[in-house]
Chains A and B, each alone.
Chain A
Amino acid sequence: MSCATYLVGMGAMTQAADRDLIRIIESAAEGDEVAFARIVATYHDDMCRVCTFVSGEETLAEDAVQTAWSIAWRKLDTLREPDHLRSWLMRVAVNEAKKLLKKRSRRSRAEVAIDTSRIAGGTDPTTGIDALDLLAAVRHMDPDDRTLLALRYGLGYDATELAAVTGISPAGTRQRLKRLLDRLRRELE
């Protein structure tokens, strides 16, 4: 299923109250396909965007996210905290993308293709780092690091949400991000 099909507007559920969200999740877990479709409409595109950034392949990302929805359909009733739906879905999708990436490349540190057309080159006067050099460094990172970057700086996840996706503690996530930034600084400054 293509991530690029234009039929249903995004964000249909983003303004839903917590109670509505719980009701929608419960209905979907009981097999209500309409409720499940509302969840899909809300989160699918972000999952695809992150998986594409992590894997560098849009087709792979679409396959991974479709598999993630099949898993979610079967396991939605195991979700204990409705607040964690977004990070839970993202974790399933990213794990599937990493699995597919591993199968295809058989290397955990594969350089991935990332679209550079929307990035303006040039050196940032504050950091002294060229944007394209920064992007090149990102392309060489392993998928776990790219996941952190996409979620933190692409979608604005906080440490708690990052922890829910990566499976490590919020403190561990902050540490990992700090180490990642330190490494980038050392490599590029």
Chain B
Amino acid sequence: MDDMNALERQLANVVQGAMRPPRPVDASAIVRTATTGAPTDRLSAISRRFRGGSVPVSAERGFSMFTAVKFVAAAAIVALFGGFLLASITGDPRETAPLPAAVSPSPSASTVEVTVPEEFVGRITCGTHRQDGQSTDVVVGSVDGGKLIRRETRGQFGEYTVDEMSDARFDGTHTLFMDTDEYFFPGSDPIGYPLLRSSVHRIENDGGAWQSIGSVAYLPGSTASGSYLPYTAPLADRWLLVGEGAHDGLTATWEMSLVEPDCYCWDQGHSEFCSWDLRGLVFEGDPPAAPGAPSAGK
């Protein structure tokens, strides 16, 4: 710090005086707390549960996925997505409870191998390998004498690292590719403009790949406490993934929930610690086809 000017030297004196003096540390107690509170334990408990392993009572209290109500909900999803019967499953009486009336029995149910949608959970974190993309401003109109700009950003992508995944089929390289259009007036308050996003979430692993394609509009108005996002960022995203290669013929749906509500993958300095909890189902075949819409005027 020899090359400091007078103000920097004075600032160094003030800052060092204002920072409290060094103190010794109880490292073992800090390590105990750090190593026992990691979310790994929580997710492992869920994972064991889905594999039929024994789960400590305390862990079951926290994650009541197999309560009767949720079981009925899961059964309804089975009926919606596949039409398979659960009647042939044996085991825990809760799991052989009568299905809701919505499930139609199939004559061949007793001879067909039953495939139940499997639930999986995981946690992924924004990785450091990402690209901001190229932005082009296009004047798309004028309002009250001001130009309305559409900022078209293309070629953004970011990789996620997988922290936990109860189903190995969703392990691997997760990459989010996105293109966005933002609408705003030059010089206006940067908070509060809409954003349209089209994105592809792709997972690649040894067994094959999964891909989800979707578009979404974010409404104006920041929900982030630091107001660094100009639009209403979702706290949860839902995706429908289609299997390829070894996963061909399978479909998965999941919900991604932000662990910390204000996190944003492209926020410098925060992104590596911005995590999403995943909860999803993988099932055979496709979801029901979209129903035919009534014609206009009918």
Contacts and interface: CB of A to CB of B under 8 A. Distances in A.
A169 to B, nearest CB: 10
Given A1-B33, A124-B6, A168-B268, A131 B23 contact: no
A129 B35 CA distance: 47
A140 to B, nearest CB: 13
Most buried by A among B1, B31, B33, B227: B31
A70 B34 contact: yes
Contact of A74 (B13, B24, B26, B163): B163
Given A66-B30, A102-B226, A127-B6, A167 B17 contact: no
B14 interface: yes
Given A1-B29, A99-B260, A53 B7 contact: no
B144 to A, nearest CB: 31
A120 B7 CA distance: 16
B292 interface: no
Interface string B249-282: 0000000000010100000111011000000000
Interface residues of B, number: 45
B31 A106 contact: no
Interface of A: 1-10, 33, 36-38, 40-41, 44-46, 49-50, 52-53, 58, 66, 69-75, 78, 91-92, 95, 99, 102-103, 106, 108, 114-116, 118-120, 124, 126-127, 129, 131, 134-135, 138, 149-150, 153-154, 156, 165-168, 181, 184-185
Interface of B: 1, 6-8, 10-20, 22-31, 33-35, 37-40, 125, 161, 163, 225-227, 260, 262, 268-270, 272-273
